[in-house]
């Protein structure tokens, strides 16, 4: 999609990604539809890429300050991208494994599971306090 080491590059890359996804969604062939379905590609993904590009554009004048002990915004963006790509890879491998059990399953480690886990609800916290 291109280099994303600058805000302009990131915006261009997000727009390219949205165009590519839209092109795949508009293809008529059976193989193309199967590939699109295999990764759950939807128009929502196109809209998300365009919304992310807009957010980057809107934030051009924002200072990239961060609180001590927290990651800078650029690191948070990179981490988020890695996690999104990891989630996609997990879904693809899981589907492949369901079709053919010879396909390996990707199993995230404890640190990745902690990051990917949903925010605990008050009920989960209460149970953890009782059990802990």
Are 36 and 24 in contact, with CB atoms under 8 Å apart?
yes
Q: Which of 21-25, 59-63, 93-97, 105-109 is most confident?
A: 21-25
Q: How far from 16 is each of 23, 50, 111, CA to CA, in Å?
A: 10, 10, 32
Quick one: which of 17, 15, 93, 98 has its CA closest to 57?
15
Please give the average per-residue pLDDT across 109-118, as a whole number: 73
Task: Please tell me whether the overall predicted TM-score, pTM, comes out greater than 0.85 for this model.
Answer: no
pLDDT at 27 over 90: yes
Task: Provide the pLDDT confidence category of residue 8 given band limits of 50, 70 and 90.
Answer: confident
Per-residue pLDDT tens digits for 36-95: 888 888 898 888 888 888 888 877 555 555 666 776 766 677 777 777 777 788 888 888
Domain boundaries, the chain: 1-62, 69-132
Task: Provide the pLDDT confidence category of residue 26 given band limits of 50, 70 and 90.
Answer: very high
Per-residue pLDDT at 88: 80
């Amino acid at each position: 999609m291109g280099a994303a080491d600058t805000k302009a590059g990131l915006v261009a890359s997000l727009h390219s990604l949205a165009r590519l996804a839209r092109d795949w969604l508009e293809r008529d062939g059976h193989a193309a539809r199967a590939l699109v379905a295999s990764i759950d590609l939807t128009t929502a993904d196109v809209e998300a890429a365009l919304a992310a590009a807009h957010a980057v554009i809107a934030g051009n004048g924002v200072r990239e300050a961060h609180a001590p002990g927290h990651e800078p915004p650029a690191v948070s963006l990179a981490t988020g991208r890695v996690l999104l790509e990891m989630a996609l890879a997990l879904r693809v491998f899981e589907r492949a494994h369901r079709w053919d059990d010879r396909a390996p399953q990707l199993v995230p480690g404890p640190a990745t599971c902690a990051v990917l886990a949903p925010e605990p609800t008050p009920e989960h916290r209460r149970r953890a306090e009782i059990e802990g």
